[in-house]
Amino acid sequence: MLKPGATIGILGGGQLGRMMAIAAAQIGYRCHIYAPEQDSVAAEVSAEFTCAPWYDREALATFAAACDVVTYEFENVPVEPLSAIPADLLAPGTKALEIAQDRVREKRFVEDVGGRPAPFAAVDHDSELADAVERVGAPGILKTRRDGYDGKGQWRLAQAHDAQGIRVPQSGSVYEGMVHFDCEFSVILVRARDGEVRFWDSTHNTHEHGILAHSELPAPAIVGEQVAEARALAQKVAEALGYVGVLTCEFFATADGPVFNEMAPRVHNSGHWTIEGAVTSQFENHVRAIAGLPLGDTASVAERIVMDNLIGETALEVVNHLSDTRAHLHLYGKAEAREGRKMGHITRVGEG
Protein backbone atom coordinates (compact mmCIF):
# COMPACT_ATOMS: atom_id res chain seq x y z
CA MET A 1 0.00 0.00 0.00
CA LEU A 2 1.31 3.43 -0.93
CA LYS A 3 1.37 5.89 1.92
CA PRO A 4 0.19 9.48 1.46
CA GLY A 5 2.98 11.56 -0.04
CA ALA A 6 4.03 8.80 -2.44
CA THR A 7 4.44 9.65 -6.13
CA ILE A 8 2.22 8.24 -8.87
CA GLY A 9 3.73 8.39 -12.34
CA ILE A 10 1.31 8.91 -15.23
CA LEU A 11 2.29 8.16 -18.83
CA GLY A 12 0.44 10.69 -20.97
CA GLY A 13 -0.38 14.32 -20.41
CA GLY A 14 -3.99 14.77 -21.50
CA GLN A 15 -7.30 15.36 -19.75
CA LEU A 16 -7.59 11.82 -18.39
CA GLY A 17 -4.23 12.24 -16.68
CA ARG A 18 -5.36 15.64 -15.43
CA MET A 19 -8.50 14.26 -13.77
CA MET A 20 -6.55 11.31 -12.39
CA ALA A 21 -3.95 13.67 -10.86
CA ILE A 22 -6.70 15.76 -9.25
CA ALA A 23 -8.23 12.63 -7.72
CA ALA A 24 -4.81 11.45 -6.51
CA ALA A 25 -4.10 14.80 -4.85
CA GLN A 26 -7.36 14.58 -2.90
CA ILE A 27 -6.13 11.45 -1.13
CA GLY A 28 -2.63 12.72 -0.53
CA TYR A 29 -0.54 11.57 -3.50
CA ARG A 30 1.82 13.53 -5.73
CA CYS A 31 1.72 12.94 -9.49
CA HIS A 32 4.57 12.99 -11.98
CA ILE A 33 3.56 13.28 -15.64
CA TYR A 34 5.62 11.84 -18.50
CA ALA A 35 4.61 13.07 -21.96
CA PRO A 36 6.35 14.00 -25.22
CA GLU A 37 4.38 17.24 -25.63
CA GLN A 38 5.40 20.33 -23.70
CA ASP A 39 1.80 21.55 -23.65
CA SER A 40 0.33 19.16 -21.06
CA VAL A 41 -2.95 19.87 -19.28
CA ALA A 42 -2.15 17.06 -16.83
CA ALA A 43 1.20 18.59 -15.92
CA GLU A 44 -0.57 21.83 -14.98
CA VAL A 45 -2.11 20.13 -11.93
CA SER A 46 0.76 17.78 -11.07
CA ALA A 47 3.82 18.06 -8.84
CA GLU A 48 6.38 17.08 -11.50
CA PHE A 49 6.64 16.86 -15.27
CA THR A 50 9.08 15.05 -17.53
CA CYS A 51 8.80 16.11 -21.16
CA ALA A 52 10.65 13.54 -23.27
CA PRO A 53 10.02 11.24 -26.25
CA TRP A 54 8.36 7.86 -25.73
CA TYR A 55 11.45 6.07 -27.05
CA ASP A 56 13.90 7.82 -24.71
CA ARG A 57 14.61 4.81 -22.51
CA GLU A 58 17.01 6.72 -20.28
CA ALA A 59 14.38 9.40 -19.58
CA LEU A 60 11.76 6.71 -18.89
CA ALA A 61 14.08 4.92 -16.46
CA THR A 62 14.85 8.17 -14.62
CA PHE A 63 11.14 8.98 -14.47
CA ALA A 64 10.28 5.53 -13.11
CA ALA A 65 12.99 5.78 -10.45
CA ALA A 66 11.25 8.88 -9.10
CA CYS A 67 7.85 7.14 -8.83
CA ASP A 68 6.34 4.63 -6.42
CA VAL A 69 3.92 3.27 -9.05
CA VAL A 70 3.41 4.09 -12.74
CA THR A 71 0.17 3.99 -14.73
CA TYR A 72 -1.03 5.31 -18.11
CA GLU A 73 -3.88 7.50 -19.24
CA PHE A 74 -4.28 6.29 -22.81
CA GLU A 75 -3.75 3.05 -24.68
CA ASN A 76 -1.40 4.18 -27.46
CA VAL A 77 1.72 4.49 -25.31
CA PRO A 78 4.39 2.53 -27.25
CA VAL A 79 5.00 -0.78 -25.51
CA GLU A 80 8.61 -1.55 -26.47
CA PRO A 81 10.32 1.30 -24.55
CA LEU A 82 8.28 0.53 -21.42
CA SER A 83 10.74 -2.26 -20.67
CA ALA A 84 12.80 0.56 -19.14
CA ILE A 85 10.20 0.64 -16.34
CA PRO A 86 10.33 -2.26 -13.82
CA ALA A 87 7.37 -4.56 -14.54
CA ASP A 88 6.25 -4.62 -10.91
CA LEU A 89 6.02 -0.82 -10.95
CA LEU A 90 3.62 -0.55 -13.90
CA ALA A 91 -0.12 -0.97 -13.27
CA PRO A 92 -1.88 -2.12 -15.32
CA GLY A 93 0.94 -3.94 -17.13
CA THR A 94 1.91 -3.98 -20.78
CA LYS A 95 -0.24 -6.99 -21.78
CA ALA A 96 -3.38 -4.86 -21.83
CA LEU A 97 -1.62 -2.30 -24.02
CA GLU A 98 -0.34 -4.93 -26.44
CA ILE A 99 -3.84 -6.29 -26.97
CA ALA A 100 -5.75 -2.99 -27.05
CA GLN A 101 -3.32 -1.47 -29.58
CA ASP A 102 -4.09 -4.14 -32.19
CA ARG A 103 -7.76 -4.39 -33.15
CA VAL A 104 -7.42 -7.86 -34.66
CA ARG A 105 -5.57 -9.22 -31.64
CA GLU A 106 -8.16 -7.58 -29.37
CA LYS A 107 -11.08 -9.26 -31.12
CA ARG A 108 -9.39 -12.66 -31.11
CA PHE A 109 -8.54 -12.26 -27.42
CA VAL A 110 -12.18 -11.47 -26.60
CA GLU A 111 -13.34 -14.50 -28.59
CA ASP A 112 -10.89 -16.65 -26.64
CA VAL A 113 -12.45 -15.61 -23.30
CA GLY A 114 -15.98 -16.27 -24.58
CA GLY A 115 -17.03 -12.88 -25.98
CA ARG A 116 -18.73 -12.04 -29.26
CA PRO A 117 -17.30 -9.19 -31.33
CA ALA A 118 -18.79 -7.95 -34.59
CA PRO A 119 -18.00 -10.17 -37.61
CA PHE A 120 -14.48 -9.26 -38.76
CA ALA A 121 -11.58 -10.15 -41.01
CA ALA A 122 -7.96 -9.05 -40.86
CA VAL A 123 -6.83 -7.09 -43.92
CA ASP A 124 -3.07 -6.78 -44.19
CA HIS A 125 -2.76 -5.99 -47.91
CA ASP A 126 -4.82 -4.19 -50.57
CA SER A 127 -5.37 -7.53 -52.32
CA GLU A 128 -7.15 -8.96 -49.25
CA LEU A 129 -9.84 -6.30 -48.89
CA ALA A 130 -12.26 -7.54 -51.55
CA ASP A 131 -12.18 -11.06 -50.10
CA ALA A 132 -12.74 -9.71 -46.57
CA VAL A 133 -15.79 -7.75 -47.71
CA GLU A 134 -17.16 -10.82 -49.51
CA ARG A 135 -16.72 -13.03 -46.42
CA VAL A 136 -18.01 -10.56 -43.82
CA GLY A 137 -20.54 -8.75 -46.00
CA ALA A 138 -21.44 -5.15 -46.67
CA PRO A 139 -22.13 -2.60 -45.33
CA GLY A 140 -19.12 -2.53 -43.03
CA ILE A 141 -16.29 -0.43 -41.66
CA LEU A 142 -12.61 -0.68 -42.49
CA LYS A 143 -10.50 0.39 -39.51
CA THR A 144 -6.78 0.81 -39.09
CA ARG A 145 -5.40 -2.12 -37.14
CA ARG A 146 -3.43 0.26 -34.91
CA ASP A 147 -3.99 3.79 -33.66
CA GLY A 148 -7.11 5.69 -34.55
CA TYR A 149 -9.64 7.04 -32.03
CA ASP A 150 -12.79 9.19 -31.99
CA GLY A 151 -13.72 7.96 -35.47
CA LYS A 152 -10.29 8.59 -37.02
CA GLY A 153 -8.74 5.94 -39.25
CA GLN A 154 -12.09 4.51 -40.37
CA TRP A 155 -13.79 4.12 -43.75
CA ARG A 156 -17.43 3.10 -44.19
CA LEU A 157 -18.19 0.77 -47.07
CA ALA A 158 -21.85 0.77 -48.04
CA GLN A 159 -21.31 -1.90 -50.69
CA ALA A 160 -18.52 -4.14 -51.95
CA HIS A 161 -17.79 -1.76 -54.83
CA ASP A 162 -16.71 0.93 -52.33
CA ALA A 163 -13.60 -1.11 -51.52
CA GLN A 164 -12.07 -0.31 -54.89
CA GLY A 165 -9.23 2.19 -54.67
CA ILE A 166 -8.81 2.01 -50.88
CA ARG A 167 -5.19 1.60 -49.84
CA VAL A 168 -4.63 -0.52 -46.75
CA PRO A 169 -2.16 1.08 -44.32
CA GLN A 170 1.21 -0.62 -43.97
CA SER A 171 0.35 -1.54 -40.36
CA GLY A 172 -2.75 -3.38 -41.60
CA SER A 173 -6.49 -3.00 -41.06
CA VAL A 174 -9.54 -4.89 -39.91
CA TYR A 175 -12.84 -5.02 -41.77
CA GLU A 176 -15.91 -5.23 -39.53
CA GLY A 177 -19.46 -6.01 -40.54
CA MET A 178 -22.10 -3.51 -39.46
CA VAL A 179 -23.98 -4.46 -36.31
CA HIS A 180 -27.69 -3.70 -36.05
CA PHE A 181 -28.12 -2.46 -32.50
CA ASP A 182 -30.60 -0.64 -30.30
CA CYS A 183 -27.99 1.39 -28.41
CA GLU A 184 -24.39 1.49 -27.26
CA PHE A 185 -23.29 1.12 -23.66
CA SER A 186 -20.14 0.81 -21.59
CA VAL A 187 -19.12 -1.54 -18.82
CA ILE A 188 -16.58 0.21 -16.61
CA LEU A 189 -15.00 -1.83 -13.85
CA VAL A 190 -12.19 -1.44 -11.36
CA ARG A 191 -10.07 -4.39 -10.27
CA ALA A 192 -7.95 -4.22 -7.14
CA ARG A 193 -4.57 -5.86 -6.56
CA ASP A 194 -6.29 -8.60 -4.55
CA GLY A 195 -8.66 -9.38 -7.44
CA GLU A 196 -11.77 -7.63 -6.09
CA VAL A 197 -13.91 -6.23 -8.92
CA ARG A 198 -16.53 -3.49 -8.77
CA PHE A 199 -18.71 -2.05 -11.54
CA TRP A 200 -20.31 1.32 -12.17
CA ASP A 201 -23.78 1.56 -13.69
CA SER A 202 -23.76 1.31 -17.48
CA THR A 203 -24.68 4.45 -19.37
CA HIS A 204 -26.41 4.77 -22.72
CA ASN A 205 -23.76 6.33 -24.96
CA THR A 206 -24.50 8.46 -28.02
CA HIS A 207 -21.79 9.28 -30.56
CA GLU A 208 -21.68 12.06 -33.14
CA HIS A 209 -19.15 11.90 -35.98
CA GLY A 210 -17.38 9.06 -34.18
CA ILE A 211 -16.95 11.05 -30.95
CA LEU A 212 -18.81 10.34 -27.72
CA ALA A 213 -21.26 13.19 -27.26
CA HIS A 214 -23.63 12.07 -24.50
CA SER A 215 -23.80 9.49 -21.70
CA GLU A 216 -27.00 9.02 -19.74
CA LEU A 217 -28.50 7.07 -16.85
CA PRO A 218 -30.80 5.28 -16.67
CA ALA A 219 -29.99 3.40 -19.85
CA PRO A 220 -32.78 1.83 -21.93
CA ALA A 221 -34.33 -1.40 -20.67
CA ILE A 222 -32.41 -3.52 -23.17
CA VAL A 223 -29.14 -2.49 -21.51
CA GLY A 224 -30.45 -3.59 -18.13
CA GLU A 225 -31.35 -6.94 -19.68
CA GLN A 226 -27.87 -7.44 -21.13
CA VAL A 227 -25.55 -5.79 -18.63
CA ALA A 228 -25.01 -8.90 -16.51
CA GLU A 229 -23.68 -10.84 -19.51
CA ALA A 230 -21.55 -7.88 -20.57
CA ARG A 231 -20.13 -7.50 -17.06
CA ALA A 232 -19.27 -11.18 -16.91
CA LEU A 233 -17.26 -10.84 -20.12
CA ALA A 234 -15.53 -7.65 -18.95
CA GLN A 235 -14.52 -9.38 -15.72
CA LYS A 236 -13.13 -12.35 -17.68
CA VAL A 237 -11.09 -9.88 -19.76
CA ALA A 238 -9.72 -8.20 -16.63
CA GLU A 239 -8.84 -11.49 -14.98
CA ALA A 240 -7.18 -12.89 -18.11
CA LEU A 241 -5.01 -9.76 -18.24
CA GLY A 242 -4.18 -9.83 -14.51
CA TYR A 243 -5.50 -6.28 -14.63
CA VAL A 244 -5.18 -3.68 -11.88
CA GLY A 245 -7.11 -0.41 -12.19
CA VAL A 246 -10.07 0.82 -14.26
CA LEU A 247 -10.94 -1.07 -17.46
CA THR A 248 -13.64 -0.14 -19.97
CA CYS A 249 -15.40 -2.42 -22.45
CA GLU A 250 -17.83 -0.95 -24.97
CA PHE A 251 -20.82 -2.95 -26.23
CA PHE A 252 -23.67 -2.84 -28.71
CA ALA A 253 -27.04 -3.88 -27.27
CA THR A 254 -28.62 -6.05 -29.97
CA ALA A 255 -31.64 -8.31 -30.32
CA ASP A 256 -29.27 -11.27 -29.90
CA GLY A 257 -27.49 -9.98 -26.82
CA PRO A 258 -24.44 -7.79 -26.17
CA VAL A 259 -21.84 -7.54 -28.93
CA PHE A 260 -18.34 -6.48 -27.88
CA ASN A 261 -17.07 -3.36 -29.66
CA GLU A 262 -13.72 -2.47 -28.13
CA MET A 263 -11.87 -2.14 -24.86
CA ALA A 264 -9.91 0.71 -23.32
CA PRO A 265 -7.37 -0.21 -20.62
CA ARG A 266 -7.85 3.05 -18.75
CA VAL A 267 -10.37 5.47 -17.31
CA HIS A 268 -12.90 6.39 -19.98
CA ASN A 269 -14.86 9.33 -21.35
CA SER A 270 -18.15 7.50 -20.75
CA GLY A 271 -17.26 7.36 -17.05
CA HIS A 272 -16.68 11.07 -16.48
CA TRP A 273 -20.14 11.29 -14.91
CA THR A 274 -18.82 9.30 -11.94
CA ILE A 275 -16.97 12.35 -10.57
CA GLU A 276 -20.23 13.82 -9.27
CA GLY A 277 -22.60 10.95 -10.05
CA ALA A 278 -21.06 8.06 -8.12
CA VAL A 279 -19.97 7.61 -4.52
CA THR A 280 -16.41 7.04 -5.79
CA SER A 281 -15.31 8.23 -9.22
CA GLN A 282 -13.49 6.12 -11.79
CA PHE A 283 -10.43 8.33 -11.31
CA GLU A 284 -10.24 7.90 -7.55
CA ASN A 285 -10.85 4.17 -7.75
CA HIS A 286 -8.10 3.80 -10.35
CA VAL A 287 -5.72 5.54 -7.96
CA ARG A 288 -6.94 3.39 -5.06
CA ALA A 289 -6.43 0.20 -7.06
CA ILE A 290 -2.89 0.91 -8.27
CA ALA A 291 -1.92 2.23 -4.81
CA GLY A 292 -3.14 -0.95 -3.11
CA LEU A 293 -5.91 0.81 -1.19
CA PRO A 294 -9.44 -0.52 -0.54
CA LEU A 295 -11.82 0.20 -3.41
CA GLY A 296 -14.55 2.81 -2.98
CA ASP A 297 -18.28 2.31 -3.46
CA THR A 298 -19.25 2.56 -7.15
CA ALA A 299 -23.00 3.13 -6.59
CA SER A 300 -24.71 5.98 -8.42
CA VAL A 301 -25.97 8.82 -6.21
CA ALA A 302 -29.10 9.51 -8.29
CA GLU A 303 -31.36 7.67 -10.72
CA ARG A 304 -30.90 10.22 -13.51
CA ILE A 305 -27.43 11.43 -14.49
CA VAL A 306 -26.41 13.05 -17.78
CA MET A 307 -22.92 13.82 -19.10
CA ASP A 308 -22.35 15.90 -22.23
CA ASN A 309 -18.99 16.38 -23.90
CA LEU A 310 -18.05 19.94 -24.78
CA ILE A 311 -16.40 19.90 -28.18
CA GLY A 312 -14.81 22.81 -30.04
CA GLU A 313 -15.34 26.51 -29.35
CA THR A 314 -18.75 26.13 -27.71
CA ALA A 315 -16.95 24.67 -24.70
CA LEU A 316 -15.72 28.13 -23.76
CA GLU A 317 -19.22 29.58 -23.29
CA VAL A 318 -18.83 29.30 -19.53
CA VAL A 319 -21.69 31.62 -18.52
CA ASN A 320 -24.16 29.75 -20.73
CA HIS A 321 -23.08 26.39 -19.35
CA LEU A 322 -23.35 27.51 -15.74
CA SER A 323 -26.74 29.17 -16.19
CA ASP A 324 -28.05 25.72 -15.29
CA THR A 325 -27.47 25.64 -11.55
CA ARG A 326 -27.23 21.83 -11.62
CA ALA A 327 -24.36 21.83 -14.10
CA HIS A 328 -20.96 20.57 -12.97
CA LEU A 329 -18.54 22.07 -15.50
CA HIS A 330 -15.12 20.57 -16.21
CA LEU A 331 -12.83 22.40 -18.64
CA TYR A 332 -9.57 20.67 -19.44
CA GLY A 333 -7.35 23.72 -19.80
CA LYS A 334 -6.59 23.23 -23.49
CA ALA A 335 -5.30 26.41 -25.09
CA GLU A 336 -6.80 25.95 -28.55
CA ALA A 337 -10.41 25.05 -29.30
CA ARG A 338 -10.53 23.12 -32.57
CA GLU A 339 -13.39 21.44 -34.37
CA GLY A 340 -13.78 17.90 -33.02
CA ARG A 341 -11.51 18.51 -30.02
CA LYS A 342 -12.77 17.55 -26.57
CA MET A 343 -12.44 20.69 -24.44
CA GLY A 344 -14.45 19.66 -21.39
CA HIS A 345 -17.67 18.10 -20.18
CA ILE A 346 -20.77 18.90 -18.13
CA THR A 347 -22.49 16.52 -15.73
CA ARG A 348 -26.00 17.00 -14.37
CA VAL A 349 -27.13 14.89 -11.45
CA GLY A 350 -30.81 14.36 -10.63
CA GLU A 351 -34.06 15.27 -12.32
CA GLY A 352 -34.72 18.62 -13.94
Q: Using the predicted structure, report yes or no on whether residue 55 has a pLDDT greater than 90.
A: yes
Of 195, 185, 180, the closest CA to residue 140 belongs to 180
Average confidence (pLDDT) over 196-210 = 96
d(CA 225, CA 227): 6
d(CA 324, CA 244): 37
Q: Using the predicted structure, report yes or no on whether residue 352 has a pLDDT greater than 60.
A: no
Average confidence (pLDDT) over 228-244 = 98
Q: Quick one: three-class SS letters along the chain? A: CCCCCCEEEEECCCHHHHHHHHHHHHCCCEEEEEECCCCCCCHHHCCEEEECCCCCHHHHHHHHHCCCEEEECCCCCCCHHHHHCCHHHECCCHHHHHHHCCHHHHHHHHHHCCCCECCEEEECCHHHHHHHHHHHCCCEEEEECCCCCCCCCEEEECCHHHHCCCCCCCCCEEEEECCCCCEEEEEEEEECCCCCEEECCCCEEEEECCEEEEEEECCCHHHHHHHHHHHHHHHHHHHHHCCCEEEEEEEEEECCEEEEEEEECCCCHHHCCHHHHECCCHHHHHHHHHHCCCCCCCCECCCCEEEEEEEHHHHHCHHHHHCCCCEEEEECCCCCCCCCCEEEEEEEECCC
Residues contacting residue 161 through CB under 8 Å, at least 6 positions apart: none
State CA 150 to chain mean position distance: 11
pLDDT bin (cut points 50, 70, 90) of residue 351 is: confident
pLDDT at res. 148: 61
> 48-51 and 30-35 as β-strands: parallel, antiparallel, unpaired?
parallel
pLDDT digits (tens, 9 = 90+) for 63-86: 999 999 999 999 999 999 999 999
Q: Using the predicted structure, report yes or no on whether residue 117 has a pLDDT greater than 80.
A: yes
pLDDT at res. 127: 79
pLDDT at res. 134: 85
pLDDT at res. 100: 95
Domains and CATH numbers, the chain: 7-90 (3.40.50.20), 119-177 (3.30.1490.20), 183-349 (3.30.470.20)
pLDDT at res. 170: 76
- Radius of gyration of the chain, Cα coordinates, nearest whole angstrom: 20
pTM: 0.94
End-to-end CA gap in the chain: 42
Other Cβ atoms closer than 10 A to 29: 21
pLDDT at res. 158: 74
Average confidence (pLDDT) over 20-27 = 98
Integer CA distances (angstroms), 258 to 95, 130, 271, in order? 25, 28, 19
pLDDT digits (tens, 9 = 90+) for 182-194: 999 999 999 999 9
d(CA 230, CA 258): 6
Mean pLDDT of the chain: 94
pLDDT at res. 81: 98
Q: Using the predicted structure, report yes or no on whether residue 150 has a pLDDT greater than 70.
A: no
Q: Using the predicted structure, report yes or no on whether residue 264 has a pLDDT greater than 80.
A: yes
pLDDT digits (tens, 9 = 90+) for 295-336: 999 999 999 999 999 999 888 889 989 999 999 999 999 988
- Higher pLDDT: 153 or 118? It is 118
Q: Using the predicted structure, report yes or no on whether residue 172 has a pLDDT greater than 60.
A: yes
Tell me what percent of the residues of the chain surpass a pLDDT of 70.
97
